[in-house]
Amino acid sequence: MLVLSRKKDESIVINNDITIVVVEIRGDKVRLGVEAPKEVPVHRREVFEAIARGEPVDAGSVVAPSIGSGGIDPEAARPAEPPAPPRD
Mean pLDDT of successive 10-residue stretches along the chain, which has 88 residues: 96 96 96 95 91 82 50 46 55
Residue 57: what pLDDT?
80
Number of domains in the chain: 1
Tell me, yes or no, whether 26 lies in a domain.
yes
B/e letters for 34-68, b = 16+ CB within 10 Å, e = fewer, are: bbbeeeeebbeeebeebeeeeeeeeeeeebebbee
The boundaries of the domain holding residue 22 are 11-67
Q: What is the pLDDT of residue 81?
A: 47
Q: What's the pLDDT score for residue 56?
A: 84
In a domain, 63, yes or no: yes
Look at residue 38 in the predicted model and tell me its pLDDT: 93
Domain presence at residue 76: no
For position 30, what pLDDT does the model report? 95
